[in-house]
Amino acid sequence: MSEVITIGLDIAKHVFHVHGADGRGRAMFSKRISRGKLLDFFAAQPSCTVALEACGGAHHWARQLTQLGHEVRLIPPAYVKPFVKRQKNDAIDAEAICEAAQRPSMRFVAVKSEQQQAAGLVFRTRDLLVRQRTQLINAIRGHLTEYGWIAPKGPSHVATLA
């Protein structure tokens, strides 16, 4: 009897979709699973390769599934897109993820630890604040120009704008 070797997991907010395939790539199952039952489902599965798109929440689920003894592979969404055969929906996405994961030349994304994610969060948040500060300063300079006041560039001159 064939056993599931690869599971494609399409993650979402509330309802996930899983697609299981055997070693020859034949579909074994395709089902919807609620968020609360996802870990129970994978705990009941024998150890196998679980593939997900590398998107928001993927690293969290990858860590959870690794703890259950599965080999987790994250695939960039651009590499999954060519495997979507028909109109896009969760079941078809899970099947495409499963098929992409079985390709020998597929490239995967490394799973990040919580510390790596936290460091990236700090960097992205700081970058956002710097961009917003620059936008605000440029907007004020632009508005003042409409009244004939020309202000020099840079955050060091903000005090003179008041």
pLDDT tens-place values along the chain, 162 residues long: 479 999 999 999 999 999 999 988 889 999 999 999 999 999 999 999 999 999 989 999 999 999 999 999 999 999 999 899 888 888 999 999 999 999 999 999 999 999 999 999 999 999 999 999 999 999 999 998 999 888 888 888 888 776
State the CATH architecture for 6-101.
2-Layer Sandwich (3.30)
Query: Which bin fits 48, alpha (ψ -120 to 50), beta or left (φ > 0)?
Result: beta
- What letter represents residue 21's amino acid? A
What are the tens digits of pLDDT across the range 80-111? Answer: 998 998 888 889 999 999 999 999 999 999 99
Pairing of strands 6-10, 49-53: parallel
The pair of three-digit structure tokens given for residue 156, joined into one six-digit string: 């060091």
pTM of this structure = 0.80
